[in-house]
Amino acid sequence: MANAERTLVLLKPDAVNRGLIGPLLTRYEQRGLKLVGLKLATITEAQAREHYSEHVEKGFFPALLNFITSGPSVQLVVEGPDAIRIVRDTNGATKPNESAPGTIRADYGITIDFNLVHGSDGVDAASKEIAIYFSAAELIEYTRAVDAWIV
């Protein structure tokens, strides 16, 4: 597959608590991305500190840490051509009030404190973040019959 990438997606605790796992998974599936890893788990403080290491000194970090570890979230790895950008575009801008209609954050959210989803912002971030939540053996290699009509 040309330019195939893998990227980490989180359905954050607000999404799980609001019963939005199904609708949000559908957004990525209907886009054509292939799920290669999938878990429901509460993110630990250690995982959060590693994942958001670039933000640990920021004023919002304590609130982010409290939020992201507050309950179960879904961790996904999705694969496809240009998957990193496709996921970021599907998610929308960080602030839901500035996200374009049709994106997840705009369609389901209002404030940055509850912005529902995460997507890795580049190739290096994707490989770092995938490794925080998944072992190599937990990522599944398979071919979908429908790929012949998508990629």
Residues that bind ligand IDP (CB under 6 A): 55, 60, 63-64, 94, 112-113, 115, 118, 121
Phi/psi of residue 18, nearest 5 degrees: -85, 5
| Residue 51 annotated among the catalytic residues of the structure | no
Query: Residue 112: which of Mg ion, ligand IDP, none does it interact with, CB under 5 to 8 A by kind?
Result: ligand IDP
Least CB distance to Mg ion at residue 16 (A): 20
Q: Which of residues 96-135 bind Mg ion (CB under 5 A)?
A: 121
Query: Residue 138: which of ligand IDP, Mg ion, none does it interact with, CB under 5 to 8 A by kind?
Result: none
Closest C-alpha to 9, from 106, 132, 130: 130
The alpha helices in 9-95, defined as continuous H runs, are: 13-17, 21-31, 45-51, 61-68, 83-91
93 versus 151: smaller Cβ distance to Mg ion: 93
| Cβ-proximal residue to Mg ion, closest one | 121
Least CB distance to ligand IDP at residue 97 (A): 12
- Do the beta carbons of residue 90 and residue 2 sit within 8 Å? no
Q: Which of 48, 105, 118, 120 is catalytic?
A: 118
47 versus 151: smaller Cβ distance to ligand IDP: 47
Closest C-alpha to 86, from 145, 116, 126: 126
Query: What is the spatial distance between Cα 17 and Cα 28, in angstroms, rounded to a whole number?
Result: 19
Strand ranges, E, within 1-151: 4-11, 34-41, 73-81, 117-119
Least CB distance to ligand IDP at residue 64 (A): 5
Q: Which residues bind Mg ion (CB under 5 A)?
A: 121
Active site (catalytic) residues: 118
